[in-house]
Amino acid sequence: MIRKLTLTAGVFAAALNASVAFAETELTVYTAVEAEDLKRYAETFNADHPDIKINWVRDSTGVITAKLLAEKNNPQADVVWGLAATSLLLLKTEGMLEPYAPAGVDKLDPKFVDNSNPPTWVGMDAWVAAVCFNTVEGEKLGLPEPKSWKDLTNPVYKGHVVMPNPASSGTGFLDVSSWLQMFGQDEGWKFMDALHENISAYTHSGSKPCKMAAAGETPIGVSFAFRGAKSKAAGAPINIIVPEEGVGWDMEATGIIAGTSKLDAAKTLVDWSITQKANEMYNTGYAVVAMPGVAKPVEHFPENLIEKMIDNDFEFAANNRAAILEEWKKRYDSKSEPKG
Amino acid sequence: MAGNQAVLPAGRAPRLQLDRDALTKRGLMVVIAVYLVAALALPLYAMLSKSFTTYSFDLARYEFQVSDETGGNWSDPVSAKALNDKLNAVAPADLATISDGRLPATSFFPDFSFRSPVKYRIRGVGPTAPYLVGLELFNSNEWKELSGNDFRRVMLRPVQSRSLANYVTYFSTPALFRSIENSLFIATVSTILTVILAFGFAYAVNRSCMPFKPVFRLIAMMPILVPSLLPGIALIYMFGNQGYMKELLLGESIYGPLGIVIGSVFFTFPHALIIISTALSISDQRHYEAAESLRASAWRTFWTVTIPGARYGLISAAFVTFTLVITDFGLPKVIGGQYNVLAVDIYKQVIGQQNFEMGAVVSVVLLIPAVVAFIVDRIVQKKQVALLSARSVPYQPRPDRRFDGFCLVWCGVVAFFIVGVIGTCQFAALAKFWPYDLSMSLNNYAFDRMDGGGWEAYRNSIRLGLLTAVIGTAIIFTGAYMVEKIDGFKTGRGLFQLLAMLPMAVPGLVLGLAYIFFFNNPANPLHFIYGTMTILVICTITHFYTVGHLTALTALKQIDQEFEPVAASLRTPFHRLFARVTVPVCMPAILDISIYMFVNAMTTVSAVVFIYSTKTNLASVAVLNMDDAGDIAPAAAMGMMIFYTNAIARIVHAALSRGVLARTQAWRKR
């Protein structure tokens, strides 16, 4: 009798365990990946791991970063998947990331992996600055096609350039950080002072300038190459220009938020995020991905883009971010589009 | 009862006997009052206290030791504060920073060189003294020894404290201060234009015999059904760089004050119109007869009879419009371009930079004009009621071809503008790729491929609208009943009335921000509702409480005060009276409150934008987010979805009202 009871209890417990194992785990994932890609990412992931449900919290890089920092003492996210490496470095300085070496991390290009051991974040792909130029509107206004960053300070472009606000947009920040690295502090700010004279608006999001250029609302939008390629594929009359001085870039990266109650599911997600399948998925939009040998050329993507990527100093970008933004706001904030 | 009276000594005023009914009533009133305190007063207090939170580098918390060239012979520990006092390396003003600030430790060592063999040690003093070495965070009282090359990567981090510094920073930042000027300018110009246009429209509808009055009334109410961002989006398509009427601006840019003013006139117009129309409709025919018999000219009559009669309405409309414009941020966000205003500053500080402390400061500043406008409006409203007398004779307009023609043109222009704005949005929403491919397609309605939460957001909005309409109406009407039909308890009623009026003075933006501070605090027992639909419902009900409350009060005042004593003497419990008499009699007002709550829940952005979560995305917020991401046409499409939903809700409301009127209001007919 007693044995029977224990047996029943045992079976019951086993059944309970099984149901726990198959129960859906919900992960809150913060991201800055383009909204139209999120669904595809989640679907591809769920094909392999149907038991983990992803709840996306998406906004532009600056907002997601600020949100994470604001929630420092009460984190709401389990995983960050697809946020600028500069931002993940900031989170690292706050002790907010759980160190974890995902399975297969040695297959990635070491540039795409945090240098702590175990790493606190792993890279996915690189996204690269570019300028979208609307050829139809450019011709109407008699504007020559710009070839370099310095060209953009030419007074003929006055009121015709839109760029993202670095305080809220990751693309905006990598532009500013790359100018300061390429031209040096003094020259960099001087360049931005001159550029500021031509800017008609600083947008909140990094893709908006290119979307505005695609719609002819502005002839020139400082944005990123991937966005430009997409708009061009959608039929917009734009050229994607790679300024000849070199272009800023940042990695999209993944990390686990320390203190998450769903560590196992989070690890599963991060493990998956660096698989070859995941890298192929990133490659649909990004020409450079973390796993060497995976990337295939992306349609409408400018050819010389990869050579033009600057040697980015991420520590400089992360530790000077607050000071750079402070200075930037002091100089140019009045022209910023709301929510900058 | 008799026993009680026998105990009372002679000469003392009789005291009201509290029976169970009265206690229940008071209990209910207290419950609703507690709700208002938790949903309004406490969050506002949390916001106020947040505005005093500052971050600064506390140099006394760090100590250093320096070695000589051999890497040994350590100097005595010296605090960063002592070094700074000596060197003046960092000015006191620069010690104030934001939560994300960093201060290089090398600032305190003027002869620092990372190539020299000199070594450095750093330690914290006290429990919190955070610093970074490169990207690693340290917070310890142990000495940490570093080579020169590592020491240059040491960054001190700020700690939290409380002071007035945020206010000082705010008022000494010219860019932020300019927003106040901009806001006042925009609000003033928009108010003047809206009041003039609305007055003309109301005058035409009430005092002329022009045709198509019902059509004009209908069109004039359309802007209420859309979020305030929608006119901004329409203006981009009309007058933006690719706008089809761009030439009309003669080279002026629509992005900036011009766009904000035009859009503000659009969305405040119906609000001003309702108030002015009410003021004009209650004027007294006898005054005009008197003017006529005194042979006053029409012009003179207008200035001596019409305007004074409507002056309270005009003042009230002006203040309402002013408050709406100065606290709206959707429109300046979409079309404001480089022109910063107060409401947008809050949004920028909080959403864009997550600088909550500064956002709280701007909120406090924004409360001032809103509260002033609110107080003036209350005073004026009281006087308005006193104008009506029982012997007034309603004004009967007489046909006048020239005047009626003029009225028709005036209303026609306004109506054309309103329909044009909404029509433009509809067209843009259906165009495939503005401006290069104008063929029709439904691509822009594929919300699931854009920012903002997709179709789920739209469904959430409808849920929010229905929940707010049902729960909100129940709470508001019950609260109003308790205030109006309770005996005695004067202080309590006065307090309740004040609480019920307060939401009107609090801009949605400020309310939403206050909710973050209050509910997103792990120590708050109500923390669990953060990020749920519940908090959105509570916030929306509170935000729109006052108008519903006033509507309910007006309806309740029409019911004779004798019902309650009669019911009491018949020993009928008040809840039966409430359900059998009060609610049916007030049904039209109850339906009005519900539709008001529903429509506003669908269109509001300002409060909910701070507290929606991934699971509770809303359609109105989606409009904002899609516009932000540059998907302007889908934003217009979502705006039109809101418009159609609200229009349908209105039609349902009208049908219901008619049915209810026929069933429950038969007693009104003689």
The answer on A121 and A103 residing in a single domain is yes
- Look at residue B3 and tell me if it is in a domain: no
Residue B378: its pLDDT value, please?
78
Tokens of B401: 């071809």
- Look at residue B14 and tell me if it is in a domain: no
CATH of the domain at A50: 3.40.190.10
**With a CB-CB cutoff of 8 Å, which residues 245-304 of chain A face chain B?**
none
pLDDT per residue over B28-50, tens digit each?
A: 888 999 999 999 999 999 999 98
- Look at residue A4 and tell me if it is in a domain: no
By Cβ distance, the residue of B135, B332, B354 closest to A70 is: B354
By Cβ distance, the residue of A69, A207, A315 closest to B630 is: A207
Answer whether residue B658 shows pLDDT above 70. yes
Is A315's Cβ below 8 Å from some Cβ in B?
A: yes
Residue B492: its pLDDT value, please?
84
Residue of A nearest to B454 (CA): A35
Domain count across chain B: 3
Q: pLDDT category, A123, cuts 50, 70, 90?
A: very high
Answer whether residue B95 shows pLDDT above 70. yes
Tokens of B61: 């918390």
Alpha helices in B558-610 (DSSP H): 563-569, 574-577, 583-585, 587-603
Is B340's Cβ below 8 Å from some Cβ in A?
A: yes
The answer on A81 and A33 residing in a single domain is yes
The answer on B560 and B539 residing in a single domain is yes
CATH of the domain at B495: 1.10.3720.10
The answer on B113 and B39 residing in a single domain is no
For residue B132, give the nearest of A320, A111, A98 by alpha carbon: A320
The answer on B524 and B559 residing in a single domain is yes
**With a CB-CB cutoff of 8 Å, which residues 110-169 of chain B face chain A?**
132, 134-137, 153, 155
The answer on B401 and B468 residing in a single domain is no
Is A180's Cβ below 8 Å from some Cβ in B?
A: no
Residue A13: its pLDDT value, please?
47
Q: Which of A96-100, B144-148, B369-373 has the lowest mean pLDDT?
A: B369-373
The answer on B270 and B130 residing in a single domain is no
Is A306's Cβ below 8 Å from some Cβ in B?
A: no
The answer on A310 and A175 residing in a single domain is yes
For residue B346, give the nearest of B507, B572, B158, B156 by alpha carbon: B507
Contact A201 B338 (CB under 8 A): yes
- Look at residue A10 and tell me if it is in a domain: no
The answer on B70 and B35 residing in a single domain is no
Share the mean pLDDT of chain B.
Answer: 87
Is A322's Cβ below 8 Å from some Cβ in B?
A: yes
CB count in 10 Å sphere of residue B96: 18
Alpha helices in B118-247 (DSSP H): 148-151, 165-172, 174-207, 213-220, 229-239
The answer on B426 and B345 residing in a single domain is yes
The answer on A181 and A73 residing in a single domain is no
Residue of A nearest to B356 (CA): A70
Is B242's Cβ below 8 Å from some Cβ in A?
A: yes
Residue B122: its pLDDT value, please?
93
Contact A57 B336 (CB under 8 A): no
Residue of B nearest to A205 (CA): B629
Share of chain B above pLDDT 90, in %: 35
- Look at residue A331 and tell me if it is in a domain: yes
B419 or B135, which is more confident? B419
Is A239's Cβ below 8 Å from some Cβ in B?
A: no
The answer on B437 and B521 residing in a single domain is no
By Cβ distance, the residue of A205, A218, A334 closest to B175 is: A334
Q: Which residues of chain B lie closer than 8 angstroms to A121, CB-CB?
A: none
Is A119's Cβ below 8 Å from some Cβ in B?
A: no
The answer on A214 and A263 residing in a single domain is no
Contact B241 A217 (CB under 8 A): yes
Contact B99 A338 (CB under 8 A): no
b/e B122-161 (16+ beta carbons within 10 angstroms → b): bbbeeeebbbbbbbebbeeeeebbbebeebbbbbbbbbee
The answer on B180 and B78 residing in a single domain is no
Q: Which residues of chain B lie closer than 8 angstroms to A95, CB-CB?
A: 137
Contact A66 B356 (CB under 8 A): no
Contact B354 A69 (CB under 8 A): yes
Per mean pLDDT, which of A73-82, A137-146, A292-301 is the most reliable? A137-146
The answer on A45 and A72 residing in a single domain is yes
Residue B354: its pLDDT value, please?
67
Q: Mean pLDDT throughout B181-187?
A: 93
Share the mean pLDDT of chain A.
Answer: 86
Report the first-to-last Cα separation within chain A, whole angstroms. Answer: 71
Minimal CA separation from A114 to chain B, in Å: 11
Q: Mean pLDDT throughout B420-449?
A: 87
The answer on B374 and B320 residing in a single domain is yes
Contact B102 A333 (CB under 8 A): no
Do B162 and B151 form a contact (C-beta atoms < 8 A)? Answer: no
The answer on A325 and A181 residing in a single domain is yes
- Look at residue A33 and tell me if it is in a domain: yes
Q: Which residues of chain B lie closer than 8 angstroms to A92, CB-CB?
A: 135-137
Q: pLDDT category, B262, cuts 50, 70, 90?
A: very high
Contact A216 B452 (CB under 8 A): no
- Look at residue B4 and tell me if it is in a domain: no
CB count in 10 Å sphere of residue B370: 20
Is A139's Cβ below 8 Å from some Cβ in B?
A: no
Query: Where a domain ends, among B161, B181, B202?
Result: B161
**Is residue A237 classed exposed, middle or buried when 0-12, 13-18 and 19+ CB atoms within 10 A define those classes?**
middle
For residue A202, give the nearest of B463, B340, B330 by alpha carbon: B340
CB pairs under 8 A between A and B: 153
**What are the C-alpha distances in Å from B170 to residues B52, B57, B342?**
12, 19, 12
Answer whether residue A5 shows pLDDT above 70. no
- Look at residue A220 and tell me if it is in a domain: yes
Residue B385: its pLDDT value, please?
57
> What type of residue sits at position B324?
L
Residue A138: its pLDDT value, please?
93
The complex scores an ipTM of 0.73
The answer on A165 and A117 residing in a single domain is no
Q: pLDDT category, B258, cuts 50, 70, 90?
A: very high
By Cβ distance, the residue of A74, A95, A208 closest to B630 is: A208
Query: Where a domain ends, among B385, B410, B441?
Result: B441
- Look at residue A120 and tell me if it is in a domain: yes
pLDDT per residue over B584-640, tens digit each?
A: 888 989 999 999 999 999 999 988 988 887 778 899 999 998 888 888 999 999 999
The answer on A331 and A273 residing in a single domain is no
Contact B352 A36 (CB under 8 A): no
- Look at residue A213 and tell me if it is in a domain: yes
- Look at residue B621 and tell me if it is in a domain: yes
The answer on B190 and B108 residing in a single domain is no
Domain range spanning residue B194?
A: 168-441
Contact A334 B338 (CB under 8 A): yes
pLDDT per residue over A61-90, tens digit each?
A: 877 887 888 778 778 899 999 999 988 998
Whole-number Å distance between alpha carbons of B666 and A84: 67
The answer on A325 and A312 residing in a single domain is yes
Q: Which residues of chain A lie closer than 8 angstroms to B613, CB-CB?
A: 57
Answer whether residue B505 shows pLDDT above 90. no
Whole-number Å distance between alpha carbons of B167 and B52: 8
Answer whether residue B265 shows pLDDT above 90. yes
The answer on A199 and A109 residing in a single domain is no
pLDDT per residue over A239-252, tens digit each?
A: 999 999 999 999 99
B112 or B416, which is more confident? B416
Domain range spanning residue A69?
A: 25-126+250-289
Q: Mean pLDDT throughout B541-550?
A: 93
- Look at residue B623 and tell me if it is in a domain: yes
Q: Mean pLDDT throughout A283-312?
A: 85
pLDDT per residue over A180-231, tens digit each?
A: 999 999 999 999 999 999 998 888 888 899 999 998 989 999 999 888 988 8
For residue B339, give the 3-state DSSP assignment.
coil
pLDDT per residue over B287-296, tens digit each?
A: 888 888 999 8
Do A310 and A248 form a contact (C-beta atoms < 8 A)? Answer: yes
Answer whether residue B388 shows pLDDT above 60. no
Alpha helices in B251-351 (DSSP H): 257-281, 285-293, 298-301, 307-327, 330-335, 342-347
- Look at residue A309 and tell me if it is in a domain: yes
Tokens 């000849």 correspond to what residue? A244
The answer on A254 and A243 residing in a single domain is no
Domain count across chain A: 2
**With a CB-CB cutoff of 8 Å, which residues 75-114 of chain A face chain B?**
76, 89-90, 92-95
Minimal CA separation from B472 to chain A, in Å: 29
- pTM of the prediction? 0.82
**Is residue B604 classed exposed, middle or buried when 0-12, 13-18 and 19+ CB atoms within 10 A define those classes?**
buried
Contact B630 A55 (CB under 8 A): no
Q: Which residues of chain B lie closer than 8 angstroms to A259, CB-CB?
A: none
pLDDT per residue over B295-343, tens digit each?
A: 988 889 888 888 887 888 888 899 889 988 988 888 998 898 778 888 8
- Look at residue B5 and tell me if it is in a domain: no
Q: Which residues of chain A lie closer than 8 angstroms to B98, CB-CB?
A: 322, 326
The answer on B271 and B365 residing in a single domain is yes
Whole-number Å distance between alpha carbons of A44 and A281: 8
pLDDT per residue over A255-277, tens digit each?
A: 999 989 899 999 999 999 999 99
Q: Is the peptide bond before B14 cis (omega within 30 degrees of 0)?
A: no
B177 or B276, which is more confident? B276
